[in-house]
Amino acid sequence: MTGKPPLKVRWIARRNAIFASPRFQYWAARIPFIKSVARTRATQMFDHLVGFSYSQVLRAAVESGLLDILADGPVGVSHVAATTDLSEEAALRLLRAARALDLAEEAQPDGWMLGQQGAVLQADPGTQAMIRHHRLLYSDLEDTMGLLRRDRKEPTALSRYWSYAGALHGAAERGTETQEYSELMAASQRFVADEVLGAFRFPKHGRLLDVGGGHGAFLRRVGAAYPEIGLGLFDLPEVVDSARGALGKAVGGERLQCHPGNFFEDPIPQGYDLVSLVRILHDHDDDPAMALLRNIRASLAPGARLLIAEPMAGIPGAEPMGDAFFGLYLWAMGSGRPRTPDEIQDMLHRAGFSRTRIVPTAQPVIASCIVASA
């Protein structure tokens, strides 16, 4: 194809040529208004450049127990060093790094306490569990190009841990690994549940089935917010058996039904007004994801709905989470991909749903929502 490139292509090429020019950079650094823009962009690039070290400071603060130590502060460097088994010099280096990320704060000379971000994190075991879990992703990303070039069927640190998808397809070693999966999901599910509850109005007297709901963390949150709604859990038999007692005690056994099964192979239980898929769809490649959507559609009566909640790709303001983090995370996991709302809606229509709509959330970096009607 010949002729001029599209206007947008020419504009981007021209913009990039200008931004890359040393003369422009020198000029921009000295003009008052442009200077602030240039400084912001330089800071963003610097954060991209050294962001890996920020994540390791976060990891060290969690794994060392530093946050719990500072919660009882103010404490001195010598106390931190003795408690974390570090030299005083190393402890001071960690404290200063944590201060730079607002995890720690020096309230008085040699009197260290939690910073604002540290206080939030110390009180949140779910986020701490996610931070500890990311050691597996760090291992896989040590050779990012090697990771991208590998056959996705080859095992990685993440895929060996995240064997839940394999368990769904009949892997032999299911119990312990599925338990670990469900525990981590339960620890982090609160974020997504709160976003969904803030954005979507559940039927007060209806019935909700959470497909792939693990130990029922999402159902607990919905059940507390809507005390009259009936609740159903559908997951692998060993997951359901493990969850049944504690979940029934939390939400009331009379309002809970547990359904053991495989959502690829077994029919989805019927009779529910609303089915939820919370951080499930993006874990699976397109063919199994379509099979799951069709299976759910077949279970729904006219007027019943499907609620999908997960981080999505291409969301304005949340692109790094959808495309950069989950893009590489799911690649390393060996299954699934982040999808845009348009891609998900197209899949829903092909699965037989009649209408779809996007439900805006306050924090799309945590989750976006799509509702589809049968």
Instruction: Quick: pLDDT tens for 6-16.
Output: 888 877 777 77
| Predicted pLDDT of residue 169 | 34
Count Cα atoms within 13 angstroms, Cβ side, for 358: 17
| Predicted pLDDT of residue 100 | 96
| Predicted pLDDT of residue 124 | 83
The single-letter DSSP state of residue 274 is E
| Residue pLDDT, tens place only, 196-247 | 999 999 998 999 999 999 889 999 999 999 999 999 999 999 889 988 999 9
**C-alpha span between 142 and 157 (Å, rounded):** 11
pTM, rounded to two decimals: 0.81
| Predicted pLDDT of residue 138 | 92
**C-alpha span between 32 and 23 (Å, rounded):** 16
* Residue that wins the pLDDT comparison between 213 and 170: 213
| Predicted pLDDT of residue 32 | 65
Q: Judge whether 338 and 320 are in contact, CB under 8 Å.
A: no
User: β-strands 256-260, 230-235: how paired?
Assistant: parallel
| Predicted pLDDT of residue 51 | 85
Structure tokens at 42: 């330089």
All structural domains of the chain: 51-123 (1.10.10.10), 127-373 (3.40.50.150)
Burial level of 103, CB count in 10 A (0-12/13-18/19+)?
Answer: buried
**C-alpha span between 295 and 297 (Å, rounded):** 5
| Predicted pLDDT of residue 162 | 72
pLDDT of residue 166 exceeding 50: no
Q: Judge whether 238 and 174 are in contact, CB under 8 Å.
A: yes
- Cα dihedral sign, 83-87-91-92: positive
In the chain, % of residues over pLDDT 90? 65
Q: Judge whether 312 and 339 are in contact, CB under 8 Å.
A: yes
Which amino acid does the sequence have at 240? V
pLDDT band at 259 (very low <50, low <70, confident <90, very high): very high
pLDDT, mean of residues 161-180: 48
pLDDT band at 286 (very low <50, low <70, confident <90, very high): very high
pLDDT band at 320 (very low <50, low <70, confident <90, very high): confident
Mean pLDDT of the chain: 87
| Residue pLDDT, tens place only, 102-141 | 999 999 999 999 999 999 999 888 788 888 888 889 999 9
* Residue that wins the pLDDT comparison between 21 and 195: 195
| Predicted pLDDT of residue 226 | 96
* Residue that wins the pLDDT comparison between 218 and 5: 218
φ/ψ of 369, rounded to 5, equals -125, 140
| Predicted pLDDT of residue 240 | 92
* Residue that wins the pLDDT comparison between 259 and 49: 259
| Residue pLDDT, tens place only, 16-40 | 776 667 776 656 566 666 566 656 6
Closest to 274 (Cα-Cα) out of 340, 219, 320: 219
pLDDT band at 173 (very low <50, low <70, confident <90, very high): very low
| Predicted pLDDT of residue 146 | 94
**C-alpha span between 366 and 311 (Å, rounded):** 6
